[in-house]
């Protein structure tokens, strides 16, 4: 049950990431996310990077309270959130935006579809009219297009 809780928490985070991206980052906290869509590279960091800290808080709280209360399920949820955050970092910052030059290309259709969907998201420079707000679940049309290649 512990491992299942980790897995469910991980996949639930994809929904949470989509929701937060669409309604928070492209909503009332657009002022923090805007520089990610319209970069003006004065430094390595963006205001958008503050979301890393914001989204780490639930995981940290899960570890803290799970330890204090001796609740393994809170710890499992914290692990699921933490693992999702690490995957998000690898996919978004390393693979897609190449902020770290660890993974340059992939011939895998799924990873190409992720990159294409995210490119379509960044096509929109304003907070309105966006698309593809998730990270790991890619719309079928992008998967289908990459499978044909």
Of the chain, the percentage scoring pLDDT greater than 70 comes to 100
What's the whole-number mean pLDDT along residues 9-32? 95
CB 103 within 8 Å of CB 93: no
Read off the pTM: 0.89
CB 55 within 8 Å of CB 42: no
pLDDT band at 130 (very low <50, low <70, confident <90, very high): confident
pLDDT of residue 4: 98
pLDDT of residue 28: 96
> What's the gap between Cα 148 and its chain centre?
26
Joined tokens for residue 11: 């996949």
Angle at 14 between CA 26 and CA 130, to 5 degrees: 30
Instruction: Domain ranges for the chain, please list them.
Output: 2-148
Greatest mean pLDDT among 112-116, 119-123, 129-133 lies in 112-116
- Beta-carbon contacts of residue 128 (< 8 Å; ≥ 6 apart): 26
pLDDT band at 5 (very low <50, low <70, confident <90, very high): very high
């Amino acid at each position: 049950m512990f491992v299942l809780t980790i897995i469910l928490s991980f996949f639930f985070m994809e929904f949470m990431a989509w929701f937060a991206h669409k309604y928070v980052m492209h909503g009332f906290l657009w002022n923090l996310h805007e520089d990610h869509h319209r970069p003006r590279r004065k430094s390595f960091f963006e205001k958008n990077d503050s979301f890393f800290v914001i989204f780490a808080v639930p995981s940290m709280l899960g570890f803290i309270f799970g330890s204090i209360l001796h609740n393994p399920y809170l710890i499992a949820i914290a692990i699921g959130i933490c693992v999702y955050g690490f995957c998000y970092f690898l996919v978004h910052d390393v693979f897609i935006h190449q902020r770290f030059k660890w993974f340059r290309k992939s011939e895998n259709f799924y990873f190409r579809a992720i990159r294409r969907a995210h490119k379509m998201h960044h096509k929109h420079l304003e907070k309105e009219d966006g698309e593809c707000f998730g990270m790991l679940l890619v719309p079928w049309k992008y998967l289908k297009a990459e499978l044909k290649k």
